[in-house]
Amino acid sequence: MNRKIAAAVLAGVMAASALAGCGSAGAGGTAPASAAPEDTAAAETEESVAEETAGASADANSLTVWTWDPAFNIYAMKEAEKFYQKDHPDFKLNVVEVLSDDIETKITTAASSGDLSTLPDIFLMQDNSYQKYMTNFPEVFTDLTDSGIDFSKFGEGKRAYSTKDGKNYGVPFDNGAVIAAYRTDYLEQAGLSVDDFTDITWDQYIELGKKVKEATGNPLITSQSGSPDLIMEMLQSCGASLFKEDGTVNIVGNEQLLKALDYYRQMVEAGVLVEVTDWDQYIASIQNGTVSGVVNGCWIIGSITAATDQSGKWAITNMPRLDGVTGAVNYSNNGGSSWAVCTATKNKELAIDFLNGTFGSNVEFYEAILPSSGAIATYLPAGDSDVYSKPQDFFGGDAIYSKIIDFAGKVPSNITGAYYYDARDAVGVALSNVIQSGADLEAELQTAQDTVEFNMGG
């Protein structure tokens, strides 16, 4: 989603809440591929800034960081600088705003030329891009396995994105754990509560959705036409992927994928899920009361809370799971990013110590950035903190941030691979052809697999 908007909205809501006394997206964190494009003027401004990017710092007490989104990632990094300066008063960060796509382009250019001196000390990388860039340009990423950072304090599903061959190459940051959020007033009209939607299967979800639609006239959820977001969430919830362990494409004959697509089709046919044409309509359906719920990454909270007149009328729980699938759980992920240390840095020990002392271990730091940015940690101990455990009136007094971190710790890992976005987009085309045109599902999946294999050079 457009995480800049979500983070800004959530920041405004939380600043006015009880959390304001304590002391992105979605994400920002990382927008899923189905997100609406950034505002053109803002993008042009960011691109002009990106042209002035600096490489690794030559000063022994400073680091250069590349990241995007002033209200979320850049804010968090500047707050991290303040925390680290408490024990290292001479320390300084040069935080440079660079779009995610630009970071990836600059990595490609630098690595292809054999000159990494143009790269910074630390950069942010979208989780779903990590495997691609670690595979193609392993010389860029510093091995952090024995750095002193306790990676067991992050959920398995999250840290797996930046792990290759058993080694850690990234410090996890923003949370993309999937939530299922519901309008409790609509559920009540159907004689239901959020408890009825907790720890359920997709079969149960469809039946409950029919009851809600009959009582309210509203579908349970909407989805952007052609977006595979929900399908990918279903897949990861059972540890499945579009690739096999050996890197080969796993689309044709993928039973979990077939089951996910079939559930999606059932929901459309039952009117439990209604497709909309674009991201703006998707967000509008949540905010204008024409939908009874949403299943997406937790960054969607920013869009939910933007409808201030609905305060107290929402609740969150975990997502449904695939019935009859071994290993299927009620937890998944959509979006997120992690911090990498570039091998070009002249201050490797400083970069690692800085990340370890902030994003890698500091609960107080995570408490400080939540109210102003909406940056929900993936560092599991933060879930037990006072700030994360504080009841949120908008969600009926539930301590949703502790709940979300708990969800994040239960997300299964999956295989993204170097061609994740190729496979994801191909499945999205297949989904669209099946739903919109009634195309044969298995034929569409064969086309999707052929497309990805062609892109892989196979």
Predicted confidence (pLDDT) per residue in 364-404, tens digit: 999 999 988 888 989 999 999 999 999 999 999 999 999 99
Let me know the angle formed at the C-alpha of 100 by 354 and 401, rounded to the nearest 5 degrees.
Answer: 65
Tell me what the mean pLDDT of segment 330-337 comes to.
94
The mean-pLDDT minimum among 21-30, 138-147, 243-252, 328-337 falls in 21-30
What pLDDT shows up at residue 52?
52
Is residue 146, in this structure, part of any structural domain at all? yes
Average pLDDT, the chain: 89
Quick check: 42 pLDDT over 60? no
Quick check: 239 pLDDT over 50? yes
> In this predicted model, which residue has the larger pLDDT, 16 or 436?
436
What pLDDT shows up at residue 43?
40
Which residues face 94 on adjacent strands? 64
Is residue 7, in this structure, part of any structural domain at all? no
Quick check: 50 pLDDT over 70? no
Q: Please report how many Cα atoms fall inside a 13 Å half-sphere around the Cα of residue 158, on the Cβ side.
A: 30
Does 322 lie in the same domain as 209? yes
Q: Which CATH number fits the domain that encloses residue 283?
A: 3.40.190.10
Give residue 383's domain range.
62-175+336-409
CB 121 within 8 A of CB 355: no
What pLDDT shows up at residue 151?
97
Going by pLDDT thresholds of 50, 70 and 90, the confidence category of residue 361 is very high
Element counts in the chain: helices (H) and strands (E): 17, 12
Tell me what the mean pLDDT of segment 338-344 comes to.
97
> In this predicted model, which residue has the larger pLDDT, 111 or 49?
111
Distance CA 383, CA 404 (A): 8
**Residue 169 phi/psi, 5° resolution?**
-125, 10
Share of the chain above pLDDT 90, in %: 83
> Which whole-number Å values give the CA distances from 303 to 9, 328, 377, in the listed order?
7, 28, 19
Does 434 lie in the same domain as 286? yes
Q: With left for phi above 0 and alpha for psi between -120 and 50, is residue 247 left, alpha or beta? A: left
Does 187 lie in the same domain as 139? no
CB 1 within 8 A of CB 279: yes
Is residue 49, in this structure, part of any structural domain at all? no
Does 186 lie in the same domain as 161? no
Distance CA 213, CA 273 (A): 10
Is residue 57, in this structure, part of any structural domain at all? no
Quick check: 44 pLDDT over 80? no
Share of the chain above pLDDT 70, in %: 88
The mean-pLDDT minimum among 57-71, 114-128, 163-177, 281-295 falls in 57-71
Does 402 lie in the same domain as 317? no
Does 285 lie in the same domain as 152? no
Is residue 17, in this structure, part of any structural domain at all? no
Please count the structural domains in the chain.
2
What pLDDT shows up at residue 18?
32
**Residue 207 phi/psi, 5° resolution?**
-65, -40
Distance CA 116, CA 139 (A): 9
What pLDDT shows up at residue 375?
87
Tell me what the mean pLDDT of segment 151-159 comes to.
94
Tell me what the mean pLDDT of segment 139-147 comes to.
97
What pLDDT shows up at residue 280?
94
Quick check: 270 pLDDT over 90? yes
Quick check: 16 pLDDT over 90? no
Does 108 lie in the same domain as 246? no
Does 244 lie in the same domain as 125? no
What pLDDT shows up at residue 45?
38
Distance CA 224, CA 141 (A): 35
Tell me what the mean pLDDT of segment 38-65 comes to.
61
Does 204 lie in the same domain as 147? no
What pLDDT shows up at residue 406?
95
Is residue 18, in this structure, part of any structural domain at all? no
